[in-house]
Structure 1
Amino acid sequence: MENKEEDVKVGANKFSERQPIGTAAQSDKDYKEPPPAPLFEPGELKSWSFYRAGIAEFVATFLFLYITILTVMGVNNSSSKCSSVGIQGIAWAFGGMIFALVYCTAGISGGHINPAVTFGLFLARKLSLTRALFYIVMQCLGAICGAGVVKGFEGNGRYEMFKGGANFVASGYTKGDGLGAEIVGTFILVYTVFSATDAKRNARDSHVPILAPLPIGFAVFLVHLATIPITGTGINPARSLGAAIIYNRDHAWDDQWIFWVGPFIGAALAAVYHQIIIRAIPFKTRA
């Protein structure tokens, strides 16, 4: 017993638990900017991890549409605003699901769950064109399947009555209003994604990668609070496409371009702002 206690004392002295804090903790951590992803990576097509990541994006987007569209249906089906979760509940459903799904899939696919996020990260050369296109296809397929399952639960009558949770510009607003809301809303989301997943911050602050899903989910929540009355809040082309395909009515398709052009412009602006203004990193090209 005495020998054991002596071993513990020696070990405690030899391997001190004291940790540097503040600037001292940052100064001894080397950071090197990761190289840009290649534009084309044919070798990815032979890797199981590539397909596993695509499947993760499909399942995550499927679950995202399933929960969020069902929430929209439930709010619309209630007899009064007081008897449902209301707009705040819808915003929480979208933001909460993004928080949970990003947390679950970040280590597999990066947890994009949104073609606009994928597009923004591609522009910043965080992933190859091959992977970006594959992600976007899988996200759209997952969204279509998720919206389809909701229609199966709700039945044609209620689903049609509540417009399938599809996105379109609300009456009283112009197409320009809707486009502007989608651009700014997606800018907020994608800028948050860049900030929350910044490799330099991860190197200096170990808690950042653990907390990354939280600000991303909150960004989605806050944008929904602001823009649900305008467009129903897209900021995710897969979400808008999935609901439009299953609902399949003219007024959903008339505004569909807004929910692709707006998010992609917003994502591009966020990528430029974060990479060039905030981080002062040029957009490098690599074959």
Structure 2
Amino acid sequence: MTELDPLINRGAADSFYDRVVRPSLAEFFGTTVFVFIGCMAVQTQDVGPIAIAHGLTIAVLIAGLGKISGGHINPVVTLGVTLSGGMFFVASIFYFLAQLLGGMVGAAFVLAVLPENVYKNITGGAHTLGSDVEPGWAILAEGILTFLLVFTVLLTAVDDKKNKLAPLAIGFSVVVDIIAGAKTTGASMNPARSFGPAVAYSKYGDVNVWEHHYVYWVGPICGAGVAAILYKMLFATGNRRLYIERFDPKTVTVHRVERFLKSHKMDVQGNIPLVDLLQDVPEDEDLIDSPSPSPKPCLLFPKDVVTSDLYSVDGDSAECFVDESLGPFFGQLLLHPYLVKGVLQFLTGLIEMAEGNTAVNQEPPVSTFFDKVVRPVLAEFIGTTLYVFIVCLYPAAYGIMSGILQGFAYVFLIAGLGKISGGHFNPAITAAVTLCGGVPFLVALCYFLAQMIGGLIGAALVLGILSRSNYELRLGGATVLRSGTEPGWGVLTEAILTFMLILTVLMTTMDEKKHKLAPLAIGFAITVGAMAGLTVTGGSMNPARSLGPAVSTLKYDIDGVWEYHYIYWVGPFVGLLVATLIYR
């Protein structure tokens, strides 16, 4: 078992039952319950209860089953965790099968429980595309929504195994995704959730639920893959992240490899006597048992430095070993004599040609420019992009659910990205934190730029996904002053709401940096602020959130968006200054 096993509890025993069967059974039952409740909730025909039912069910299942299986309940979550090094490849196959079977069983229960007319009215809970939504844009929407979900899982549950807010953060991400994408694709983000109801509804032929079913596989798989790649390359902490290290291959690596070859009676061409390759090793080594009477395979690389991602040769002793995270099949495959020979020939060739760079997986330097500036700025850019996208995608931008959408989004974004950048996603928050000495001025300027660009891109994605009629109906998600409201009162409203938000941020993060409830406190402040400002300004409190959609509306020349746009800059600026002065 490697150290990258945060989302699967393998138990104290090493039996196949404890490591694979028991977690897979948990995934089966969890997915069955999730699909059943999710499909039953569709009866309400109201996006709010539907989203909350799905999200809270996921949160409850993770809290209950997480200690057994990790509480994936979703094939693409399992895919993301596997790609990021969080579980065995072989175990993930069992997870996939259990989740798909659970989805079908849960959907079958819905078919059995509901009267036929009710069941047909909700299409059995199956997912179909919204009106005027092109399949290509639907794949993009599902990909982005799934990226948000899997990225949250990786940052809150995989990267930080002690994050007690992980179940809530993941559940809130599901709530937000469904509210945002309900009228576009239905916001599945889960092939098992889409596949089960589609199979069950095949009993009736009045609606072709399979016409665009591929959208609910292609989109989530791509979103999960991108999330895993970005996590591993940029946002993982400690030795979970891949990075480039400089070293001198001639003085270090050649010596180590030659020592390794010599200790195992191999020449530089990789010729390996078969009897030496298959010799027994000490019983205390962490081995994968081979069927009797074949001897145990020799382990290949130094045990203390090899991880589940990339191999490197290090250490004083040249004990060989198998990376257990690859599973028995792949572990033994890597020990085939001819494959070993080819790998070693390739390795020695690389050493001779090396210029001085290699990719390794170990603890990166603490005080690099990348860690201090680039990585936090990228986190602000991605967080702001996701935030503006999901807020603007919501079809009833001025409904009460808009407040829940914005607040819940902040909760899981801060829970995931807060440890990297502070989780601002708002120029007003960055300005206040900078004035209080929390962020260097030059870094703050980079934050501003990243947030503005993120807001523009998030709004542009909504512009591309929605048809013109749907886009204009929602004003592209732009915030505008309500009719009958004086601009001065609009500025005051935005100032007061921003004041409350900024003061909450400063008191929970600056005053007590390890406040465990800070994401919830900030998210709820945004929720009540958006609800309170609903009928006046829309409750923006965020210039990046207002600027991005306003710029996107220029394509269709929507009236009234820019007339009082200054309100969403002046109000937050005044509010942050007052909050900062009071805090200081």
TM-score normalized by the length of structure 2:
0.38
Q: Partner of 1:107: helix, strand, or coil?
A: helix
The CA deviation at 1:236 is: 0.3
- Residue 82 of structure 1 is matched in structure 2 by none
Residues 174 and 193 (structure 1), Cα distance of their counterparts in 2 relative to 1, 3 Å cut? same
> Mean alpha-carbon deviation: is it higher for 153-162 or for 216-225?
153-162
User: What per-residue deviation string (whole Å, max 9, x for no partner) do you get for residues 40-86 of structure 1?
Assistant: xxx9783344211111001111110111110102x14xxxxxxxxx2
Residues 93 and 149 (structure 1), Cα distance of their counterparts in 2 relative to 1, 3 Å cut? same
Residues 246 and 35 (structure 1), Cα distance of their counterparts in 2 relative to 1, 3 Å cut? closer
- Larger helix proportion of the pair: 1
- Residue 62 of structure 1 is matched in structure 2 by 32
> What amino acid does structure 1 have at the position aligned with 2:21?
Y
User: Which of 210, 221, 226 is 1:264 aligned to?
Assistant: 221
* Contact residue 155 and residue 236 of structure 2 kept, 8 A: no
Q: How does 1:136-285 map to 2 (within 5 A)?
A: 136-199=96-159, 201-202=160-161, 206=162, 208=163, 210-248=164-202, 249=205, 251-279=208-236, 281-282=241-242, 284-285=309-310
- Once residues 157 and 122 of structure 2 are traced to their aligned partners in structure 1, the CA distance between those partners, rounded to angstroms, is 37
- Residue 97 of structure 1 is matched in structure 2 by 57
* Contact residue 166 and residue 247 of structure 1 kept, 8 A: yes
Q: Partner of 1:57: helix, strand, or coil?
A: helix
User: What per-residue deviation string (whole Å, max 9, x for no partner) do you get for residues 241-267 of structure 1?
Assistant: 001000125631111111011101000
- Once residues 253 and 45 of structure 1 are traced to their aligned partners in structure 2, the CA distance between those partners, rounded to angstroms, is 40
The CA deviation at 1:34 is: 2.0
Residues 44 and 267 (structure 1), Cα distance of their counterparts in 2 relative to 1, 3 Å cut? farther
* Contact residue 60 and residue 105 of structure 1 kept, 8 A: yes
> What amino acid does structure 2 have at the position aligned with 1:274?
Y
> What amino acid does structure 2 have at the position aligned with 1:70?
M
> What amino acid does structure 1 have at the position aligned with 2:3?
P
Q: Partner of 2:208: helix, strand, or coil?
A: helix
The CA deviation at 1:36 is: 7.5
- Once residues 60 and 221 of structure 2 are traced to their aligned partners in structure 1, the CA distance between those partners, rounded to angstroms, is 24
User: What per-residue deviation string (whole Å, max 9, x for no partner) do you get for residues 168-214 of structure 1?
Assistant: 11121110121111000000000000111144x44xxx5x1x22101
Which runs of 5 or more structure 2 residues have no equivalent in the other structure? 7-12, 243-307, 311-322, 324-330, 332-584
User: What per-residue deviation string (whole Å, max 9, x for no partner) do you get for residues 95-154 of structure 1?
Assistant: 110000011111000110000000011111211111111001101111111111111111
Q: Does 1:124 align with 2:84?
A: yes
> What amino acid does structure 1 have at the position aligned with 2:86?
K
Cα RMSD, aligned residues only: 2.1
> What amino acid does structure 1 have at the position aligned with 2:231?
H
Residues 45 and 266 (structure 1), Cα distance of their counterparts in 2 relative to 1, 3 Å cut? farther
> What amino acid does structure 2 have at the position aligned with 1:95?
G
> What amino acid does structure 1 have at the position aligned with 2:30?
A
* Contact residue 44 and residue 50 of structure 1 kept, 8 A: no
- Once residues 61 and 36 of structure 1 are traced to their aligned partners in structure 2, the CA distance between those partners, rounded to angstroms, is 21
- Once residues 170 and 127 of structure 2 are traced to their aligned partners in structure 1, the CA distance between those partners, rounded to angstroms, is 21
* Contact residue 26 and residue 69 of structure 2 kept, 8 A: yes
> What amino acid does structure 1 have at the position aligned with 2:208?
H
Structure with higher Rg: it is: 2
- Once residues 197 and 158 of structure 1 are traced to their aligned partners in structure 2, the CA distance between those partners, rounded to angstroms, is 38
* Contact residue 80 and residue 227 of structure 2 kept, 8 A: yes
> What amino acid does structure 2 have at the position aligned with 1:215?
A
* Contact residue 120 and residue 190 of structure 1 kept, 8 A: yes
The CA deviation at 1:157 is: 2.7
Residues 87 and 159 (structure 1), Cα distance of their counterparts in 2 relative to 1, 3 Å cut? same
Residues 154 and 268 (structure 1), Cα distance of their counterparts in 2 relative to 1, 3 Å cut? same
